[in-house]
Structure formats: structure tokens, C-alpha cells
């Protein structure tokens, strides 16, 4: 079964602390992995995708095929990082995108 699991509904950290949002997936084949973010009163938008191996707003995510994980990390959280984060996957060459239930990140001053 194709599935994306984000085990934490809510994650609260202090400003300047490291943050890791967990994402595990189940997929038979080669998936494309993404992180989307939704800031308060804004639209859902792409944060990063694994194929680009990029760092956006200080966030990085590494695809671990052995553990079937794609955790999102940032060494020093900022208050403006407070948002809803969704991990998503799509089969290579396919179009159906499967989203996790999301993790709300709250960065305290």
C-alpha cells in the first residue's frame, strides 16, 4: 500500500533549537518525495523536493531508502518557520500524489 506517515501532529521547539519533522513512507517502486508548507492564512506551497537536493530557508531533507524516510531538518529554528508541514510522495512517472496528515510546527520565542 502507498502511504505517507507523519507521526507527530504537533511539534513545539524554542527559537534557535534544532528541529526535525519526521516522514516515513511505504511505496513499491521509486518514489519522488516532497515537503510542502502552509503558513498561516496562505496557500499550500512547495518547500523542497528530494531530487533537487536543495536547501530552502535553511531546511534540508535526505531520502533514506533503507529506512524509507524523508525527514525534514533545520539546525536553528526561527519563529517564522511556524507553519503546517506536509510530506508527500509521487510515483516516478506518475501523477497521483499522496500526502501525509501533516505536522504543525510551533517555534516559541
Nearer Cβ to other proteins (49/74): 49
- Contacts with other proteins by CB under 8 A: the residue count is 23
Q: Is 70 in the site for other proteins (CB under 8 A)?
A: no
- Please, which residues have CB within 8 angstroms of residue 102's CB and are 6 or more apart in sequence? 6, 9, 84, 85, 86
Q: Which three cell numbers stand for residue 76?
A: 536553528
Helix-, strand-, coil-residue percentages of the chain, each rounded to 5: 5, 50, 45
**Looking at beta carbons only, is 83 or 102 nearer to other proteins?**
102
- Chain contacts with other proteins (rule: CB under 8 A): 4, 32, 43-46, 49, 51, 86, 88, 90-102
Amino acid at each position: 500500500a502507498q502511504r505517507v506517515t507523519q507521526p507527530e501532529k504537533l511539534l513545539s521547539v524554542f527559537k534557535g533549537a534544532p528541529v526535525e519533522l519526521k516522514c516515513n513512507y511505504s511505496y513499491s517502486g521509486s518514489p519522488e518525495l516532497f515537503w510542502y508548507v502552509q503558513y498561516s492564512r496562505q496557500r499550500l506551497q512547495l518547500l523542497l523536493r528530494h531530487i533537487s537536493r536543495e536547501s530552502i530557508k535553511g531546511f534540508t531533507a535526505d531520502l533514506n531508502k533503507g529506512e524509507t524516510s524523508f525527514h525534514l531538518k533545520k539546525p536553528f529554528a526561527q519563529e517564522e518557520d511556524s507553519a503546517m508541514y506536509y510530506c508527500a510522495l509521487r510515483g516516478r512517472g506518475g501523477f497521483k500524489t499522496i500526502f501525509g496528515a501533516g505536522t504543525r510546527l510551533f517555534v516559541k520565542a
